[in-house]
Chains A and B, each alone.
Chain A
Amino acid sequence: MQRAKWALPAIGVIAILAGTGFVAQGGWPFGGTPEQPIAFPHDVHAGTLQIPCMYCHYTADRSPDAGIPSVQTCAGCHLAGGQPIVGANRPGVQQLAQYWQRGVPIPWVRIHDLPDHAHFPHMMHVNAGIQCQECHGPVETMREVQQVASLQMGWCINCHQERNVRIDCFVCHY
């Protein structure tokens, strides 16, 4: 009972911090960077190797969803006959081979998550010439992908206003 007296305000403070976007500003909504099932280094693939974003996220210019690569896309480079050939000694590639052999999709943890009442069409933004990095940050330098933009409505609106794009609610919320 004693403990409950100070626990309540503490919860309140946390709630306020969350409400002001404190947590969201820090990146992933749950704080820090989540552990992905495979430690996929974007800096190697998109940075060093210069693989274009849309090689893997192949629907970003024609669908509201950017799309995440099928396991086959990974396997296409890394595996031959189900066995690792490229980066064969790396644990991530060995994990990939296991997923591929078992026929199980890789359960990636989602980082950029909009609430369901906000409709964000990727293809409209990509085709308007917005670079992926403008929202997702310099992914090509990230070992582990983090959320850099708040993805909050004010952040959306700022950009829409700067570019003279419609900002009424029914553009995104329906």
Chain B
Amino acid sequence: MTMERREFLKVIGAAGAGAGLFGCSTQGPERLLPYMIAPEDVIPGVATWFRTTCRECPAGCGMEIRTREGRAVKAEGNPLSPIGHGRLCARGQASLHGLYNPDRIPQALARAGEDWEPISWDEAEQRLVAALQQAGGRTVFLTSGQSGTMDRLLDEWTAAFGIERVRFDAFALEPVRAANRLLFGQDVLPSHDFSNAEVVVSFGADFLETWLSPVDYAHGFTRAHAFANGRRGRFVWVGPHQSLTGLNADDWLPARPGTEHLVALAMARVVADQGGQAGPAAAFLRQVDVGAYAEQAGVPEERIRQIARAFANGGRSLAVGPGVSSSSRAATALAAAVALLNYVAGNIGRTVRLDRPELGSGGSYQAVRDLFARMSRGEIGALLVYGPNPLYSVPLGDDAAAALERVPFIASFNTFLDETSTRAHLLLPDHHFLESWGDYVPRPGVYSLVQPVMNPVFQTKQTGDVLLSVARRAGVALPTAAATFYDYLRETWQRDVFPRVGPLPEPPAGSAAAMEAAAAQALQSPFENWWRRALQLGVVTAEAPAPAAPPQLSAAALAQLDFSVPEFRGGEGAEYHLIVYPSYRFYDGQLANRPWLQELPDPISKLSWTSWVEVNPETAERLGLVEGSIAEVETPNGRAELLVWPHPGIRPDTIAIQLGQGHEALGRYAQNRGVNAARLLAPEVEQPSGGLVWQQARATLRNTGRWQRPPESGNATQAGREIARAMTLEEARRAEPVSLAATLAPDRAEAAHGAEPAAGHGEAAGHPMEAVVQELQGVGGFGPAIVPAGPQDYPPPGTHYGEYTATQPRWAMAIDLERCIGCSACVTACYAENNIGIVGPDQIRQGRILHWIRIERYFYGHERHGEDAAHTAEAGEYTPVRFIPMLCQHCGNAPCEPVCPVYAAYHTPDGLNGQVYNRCVGTRYCANNCPYKVRYFNWYTWEWPEPLNWQLNPDVTVREKGVMEKCTFCVQRIRDAQHRARLEGRSVPDGEIVPACAQTCPAEAIVFGNIKDPNSRVARIAASGRGYRVLEGLNTQPGIVYLQQVLPEGVEA
């Protein structure tokens, strides 16, 4: 902390936590720096929240940022946002690592030979003006897809300067736009209502990861899909490779790469025959030969027919696609086939809303490829870059870098020195979005505000302000007179949004906001009052446009599309189709320098900090490859060596590589790590959409004979321990006759009160482990006799737990495995909330990863009683994968506690399993004795390079070397809520305490509360007949109740 940052009071506790001081010694006098003038709305030591909008991907989820003493410390979702529903994905959680990233461009820089020279903003703007005047009309402004006011400013600014604007995003889904343009005359990316889709078929669209609006879709998907009221949705994944989204499917149709559109057409034909509304497409569909198409796709015809019959359910189904992983040379044909399928099934206007499109990304690959061609011909005088990094994210040919060299002047507004920006002459780093003013319109009528939550970390300047200032300096007149982007934003909102949205919901009576508003009412203009309220809400919505009549389908356009099966090109002996697919963690790769995201194990492979090639286990066996083998992948365009990771969810004739790694620039965490799969592709444009052909190549796969221990966490099998359990649909109907929906979602109230659990849990009697436990007890094993009790019966009869009194709550958690999609947002949220160290790949290889909550991913779920039925997916099978969030179970009879020689692991009166860092001497006995393996040891004192340490949560101790740590159920949040309740003279209502993991879960899988209160949500959910406790045969009396996953209809447990 430097003296210039005097606005930030160095307060008791806060600064100390940041400094990482630990123990009773003090290393010199500590200084207390007061504010010069205390800000009115900040109470030192108490969090201040700001609402803004996440800009890590084009979805635009609403955000709430927790700040302490002027620093953002935690990102959460804005519950008012219809896009994020108060939740965030892992990328949104990790946005703070973008804000505080030590590799951000700290100030305006100008190229000086090989190096960069710091210049003032004044000078930087002058240089930009001079360069623009010199280049004249031969300037191009390359921007990512923008929205709202910034988009308007860019348009006005480029028009005023006579500059061409080119939009580009790597995942722009051009084929979806193109198909809707051709078929319906609407060039849009439709929004999708997953919450009303009982049958979902995805043709390679990873809608739980990166596709359009993943948090909204995950939220809606689990609501419609998870078991409730005796019913369960159905989700079918079509494509050669299962990503995280694919592995959540109930059926997998592993179509040959490039044949997904045939499956869609075959389904459309069956739906039409079932009485679907083929309309103008009837003649076209009559030519579809279901049998022949199934044959070509390599999928059993009967399965297609069966799924299609379920799909024809009167507008409560949804087909989505293509995503990047199914964008072959037939991508537009696939998008058209999917649109046709939705049309025939009557989904357009119901689950598919063309009239309410997603903003999505903008531009096209074709445009940026043309731009690079013009650059290499020397036609571009100056290039401005704002957002994208095309040199990294897409293949542009071997001469792409040389093309940039031919541009006399390149200026970049990007926040990182990425591959494209390193070739610039002038760097004008933008603020991070958490430091910026702005707005975002993710869907029509949804206006989400972006407001600064803290002062800028670096000497950066918001690009909107730079553009306005440059226009002034150059004497170019803009349609606005605004001096700053903030003024421009307000002007736009006053003119456009204010009249359209109308009155906003009032703040709750008696609240500070209400009093402030009342006081201000008379003094300020109506817009000023409205604007202040809008900033408090973070997002305002206008009346949703009335649903338009379903658009007319153009049969002529359909007939003109080429539905033939595209080829995958490869050289001699190239046997394997290469699938490249987007990374859930890094999106298009621009997020690869966030250490949390690098550290976060990939939801499927559980690998971190690296790239890998996914190979079917059969193929791997044939080539003598095992996990960690180094294989060489070669396509006509490139060659790469990668770790092998055998994946049961991929066809034997296909291999897959995730995008997002392999950076040559960007920063210390991303550089020279893994492989950029885009380098293996040719710069080929798909027609007629103008998108990139992502799936184009066949590759050779060669075993190098070398092996390296992968930086991996977790196991593929449960080894017969029944950790993640599942039951059949029939069993679930008997076990949970009454819906739990009401307990999970207060806004979908449904009376679940008084539900009698059909079958209590605590199946200790007859449990397979019982004999083992009894044997252990004979030789001094755990605790007293097995008691058939739930966590609410804490403490177990006959036991004695310290100061415990019956008046204390017992904190407990219920986790519904039926809802968990394995996305790992909770893991990232936990990193952020609890100051968890980043250990890096070498330590992970040694099994030293720190994550208080981890997602276990078990592949062979079909085992029973120790029998591993190695289940490789056959064509048309369900891939048996189970996700289970594993964290400290806060056992009532915890094995870790009695073995601690210094009483550092102990039980609190409110049922938490406490870990007292200042007592801990690091014997690690507790971790050894923990059957859940959820205790983590600090082998080193981990470092957070400045300013990453600014993010550290001042409410949580920063641990150092030699200390054991683990999940605390976010005790700092429990204490905070208890303190507030005590001061306000009330009790803590159910739902006020929300741990970080439960807060962010897009699938609403985690519920926390006091299980001794029979009306609490957690108690009501835990009473479900699907409930069980992991390894309860050990009599650990866990405080976490899991609800069993429900298997798809027809799958045997």
Taking beta carbons and an 8 Å cutoff, which residues of A are in contact with B? 29-30, 34, 58-59, 62-73, 100, 103-110, 113-119, 121-124, 127, 166-171, 173-174
**Closest residue of chain A to B14, judged by CB?**
A65
What are the interface flags for B113-124 relative to A under an 8 Å C-beta threshold, 1 for contact and 0 otherwise? 000000000000
15 pairs from A and B in contact (CB 8 Å cutoff) = A63-B45, A65-B44, A72-B35, A72-B36, A103-B36, A104-B3, A105-B34, A106-B34, A117-B918, A168-B909, A168-B914, A169-B908, A169-B919, A170-B916, A171-B975
* A70→B34 contact, CB < 8 A: yes
Instruction: From the candidates B22, B33, B906, B982, name the one contacting A169 in the complex (CB within 8 A).
Output: B906
Does B971 interact with chain A (Cβ within 8 Å)? Answer: yes
Given A59-B44, A70-B36, A116-B13: A170 touches B31 (CB 8 Å cut-off) = no
Please name all residues of chain B whose beta carbon is closer than 8 Å to the beta carbon of A122 when the two chains form the complex.
45
Residues of chain A contacted by B9 (CB below 8 angstroms): 68
Cβ-defined partner of A170 (8 Å) among B16, B19, B43, B914: B914
Asked if B65 lies at the interface with its beta carbon under 8 angstroms from chain A, I say: no
* Complex: chain B residue closest to A128, CB-CB: B982
CB pair B17 A116 closer than 8 Å: yes
Q: Of A34, A63, A173, A174, which is in contact with the most chain B CB atoms at under 10 Å from its CB?
A: A174
Interchain CB contact (< 8 A) of B979 among A34, A67, A118, A123: A123
**Which 5 pairs between the two chains have the least Cβ-Cβ distance?**
A65-B45, A63-B45, A170-B914, A70-B38, A70-B35
Q: Mark B403-425, 1 if CB is under 8 A from A, else 0.
A: 00000000000000000000000
Do the beta carbons of A63 and B971 come within 8 Å of each other?
A: no
- B12 interfacial by beta-carbon distance below 8 Å: yes
Q: Is the interface of B mostly helix, strand, loop or mixed?
A: loop
Q: Please tell me if the beta carbons of A166 and B803 are within 8 angstroms of each other in the complex.
A: yes
A66 shortest CB reach to chain B, Å: 7
Provide the residues of chain B in CB contact with A104, threshold 8 Å. Answer: 3, 6
B242: which A residues are within 8 A, CB to CB?
none
B899 within 8 A of A: no
User: Does B983 interact with chain A (Cβ within 8 Å)?
Assistant: yes
Listed in ascending order, the chain B residues whose CB lies under 8 Å from chain A are 3, 6, 9, 11-14, 16-17, 19, 21-24, 26, 28-38, 43-46, 802-803, 906, 908-909, 912, 914, 916-919, 955-958, 968, 971-972, 975, 979, 982-983
**Whole-angstrom CA separation of A72 from B39 in the bound complex:** 11
Residues of B within 8 A of A115 (CB): 16, 21-24, 918
Q: Which residues of chain A are near B918, meaning CB under 8 Å? A: 115, 117-118, 173
Q: A110-B32, A174-B968 are known contacts. Are A168 and B979 too (CB-CB below 8 A)?
A: no
Q: Is B802 in contact with A168, judged by CB distance below 8 angstroms?
A: yes
Q: Is the CB of B958 within 8 A of A116?
A: yes
Inter-subunit contact A169/B909 (CB<8 Å): no
Assess the A70–B803 pair: CB atoms within 8 A: no
Contact assessment for A70 and B37 in the assembled complex, using a CB-CB cutoff below 8 Å? yes
Instruction: Determine whether the beta carbon of A62 is less than 8 Å from that of B46.
Output: yes
Which of A65, A105, A168 touches B35 (beta carbons < 8 Å)? A105
Selected from A29, A63, A105, the residue in CB contact (under 8 A) with B26 is A29
Determine the main DSSP class of A at the interface with B: loop
* Distance in angstroms between the alpha carbons of A108 and B9 in the assembled complex: 12
A115 to chain B, nearest CB (A): 5
B22, B36, B916, B917, most chain A CB atoms within 10 A: B36
Nearest CB to that of B972 among chain A residues?
Answer: A174
Task: Name the CB-closest residue of A to B32.
Answer: A108
Q: Taking the nearest CB of chain B, how far is it from the CB of A31, in angstroms? A: 11
Q: Which residue of B lies closest to A18 (CB)?
A: B25
Count chain B CB atoms within 10 A of each CB in A58, A110, A118 and give the residue with the most. Answer: A110
> Would A113 and B30 count as touching, CB distance under 8 A?
yes
Tell me the smallest distance from the CB of A85 to a CB of chain B, in Å: 19
Additional pairs, 5, CB under 8 Å, beyond known A115-B23, A117-B918: A65-B44, A72-B37, A105-B34, A107-B32, A108-B33
**A110:B31 contact, CB within 8 angstroms:** yes
A119 contacts across to B, CB distance below 8 A:
13, 955, 972, 975
B34:A174 contact, CB within 8 angstroms:
no
Q: Which residues of A contact B909 (CB under 8 A)?
A: 166, 168
Closest to B17 in A: A116
The contact of A174 among B24, B31, B975, by CB within 8 Å, is B975
Indicate if the CB atoms of B12 and A66 lie closer than 8 Å.
yes
A30 in contact with B29 given A65-B11, A68-B34, A169-B906 (CB within 8 Å): yes
**CB contact between B31 and one of A69, A100, A108 (< 8 Å): that residue:** A108
Instruction: Report which residue of A73, A103, A173 has the largest number of chain B beta carbons within 10 angstroms of its beta carbon.
Output: A173
- Answer whether A117 and B908 are a contact pair too, CB < 8 Å, given A71-B36, A107-B31, A124-B979: no
A174, B975: Cα distance in complex, Å: 10
Complex Cα gap A162–B975 (Å): 22
A166-B909, A173-B917 known; A68 vs B43 contact (CB < 8 Å): no
A151 to B195, CA, bound (A): 56
A167 contact set on B, CB distance < 8 A:
803
Contacts of A170 in B (CB 8 A): 908, 912, 914, 916, 968, 971
Minimal Cβ-Cβ distance residue in B for A62: B43
In the assembled complex, the Cα of A118 lies from the Cα of B971 at a distance in Å of 13
Report how far A170 CA is from B915 CA in the complex, Å.
Answer: 8
- Across the interface, do B971 and A174 meet the contact criterion of CB distance under 8 Å? yes
Q: For the complex, what is the distance from the CA of A69 to the CA of B19, rounded to whole Å?
A: 23
A67 in contact with B26 (CB, 8 Å): no
Cα A171 to Cα B300 in complex, Å, equals: 61
- Given A116-B22, A127-B983, A169 and B916 contact (CB-CB distance below 8 Å): yes
A30-B29 Cα distance, complex, nearest whole Å? 8
- Roughly how many angstroms separate A69 CA and B17 CA in the complex, as a whole number? 22
Q: Please measure, in the bound complex, the distance between the C-alpha atom of A70 and the C-alpha atom of B918, giving whole angstroms.
A: 33
- A71–B7 CA distance with the chains assembled, in angstroms: 12
With both chains docked as a complex, state the minimum distance between the C-beta of A133 and any C-beta of chain B, in angstroms.
Answer: 19
Contact of B917 among A67, A110, A117, A123 (CB under 8 A): A117
CA A24 to CA B262, docked complex, whole Å: 79
**Which of A30, A127, A168 has the most CB atoms of chain B within a 10 A radius of its CB?**
A168
Most buried by A among B3, B29, B908, B982: B29
- Determine the distance from Cα of A64 to Cα of B972 in the docked complex, in whole angstroms: 12
When the two chains form their complex, are residues A71 and B35 in contact, meaning their CB atoms are under 8 A apart?
A: yes
Complex Cα distance, B6 from A106, in Å, reads: 10
* B34: contacting residue among A66, A69, A103, CB under 8 A: A69
What's the minimum C-beta distance from A39 to chain B, rounded to whole angstroms?
16
A55 CB to closest chain B CB (Å) equals 13
B36 to chain A: closest residue by CB: A71
- Complex alpha-carbon distance, A58 and B39, angstroms: 13
Expressed in whole angstroms, the minimum distance between the Cβ of B19 and any Cβ of chain A is 8
User: Which residues of the other chain, A, contact B14 by a CB distance below 8 angstroms?
Assistant: 65
Q: Which residues from chain A contact B906 at a C-beta distance below 8 Å?
A: 168-169
Selected from A71, A109, A173, the residue in CB contact (under 8 A) with B916 is A173
Give the CA-CA distance A103 to B914 in the complex, in Å.
45
Query: With the chains together, A122 CA to B46 CA distance in Å?
Result: 12
Distance from A90 Cβ to chain B, minimum over Cβ atoms (Å): 20
Residues of B within 8 A of A58 (CB): 38
Point out the residues of chain A lying under 8 angstroms from B958, CB to CB.
Answer: 116
A104 and B19 CA atoms in complex are apart in Å by: 22
User: How close is B587's CB to chain A, nearest CB, in angstroms?
Assistant: 34
Report which of B6, B17, B30 forms a contact with A110, defined as CB distance below 8 A: B30
A137 CB to nearest chain B CB (Å)? 18
Docked-complex contact A59 and B45, CB < 8 angstroms: yes
Q: Which A residues lie within 8 Å of B46 (CB)?
A: 59, 62-64
User: In the assembled complex, which residues on chain B have CB atoms less than 8 Å from the CB atom of A124?
Assistant: 979, 982-983
CB contact between A121 and one of B32, B36, B37, B979 (< 8 Å): that residue = B979
Q: Do A71 and B44 contact each other (CB < 8 Å), given the known contacts A115-B24, A170-B971?
A: no
B988 CB → nearest A CB, Å: 14
Chain B residues with CB under 8 A of A169:
906, 908, 914, 916, 919
Which residues of chain A are near B12, meaning CB under 8 Å?
64-66, 110, 114
Q: How far is the CB of A41 from chain B (nearest CB, A)?
A: 18
A172 to chain B, nearest CB (A): 9
Q: How far is the CA of A116 from the CA of B979 in the complex (A)?
A: 19
Report the minimum CB–CB distance from B129 to chain A (whole Å). 33
Chain A residues with CB under 8 Å of B33's CB are 105-108
Residues of A within 8 A of B19 (CB): 116
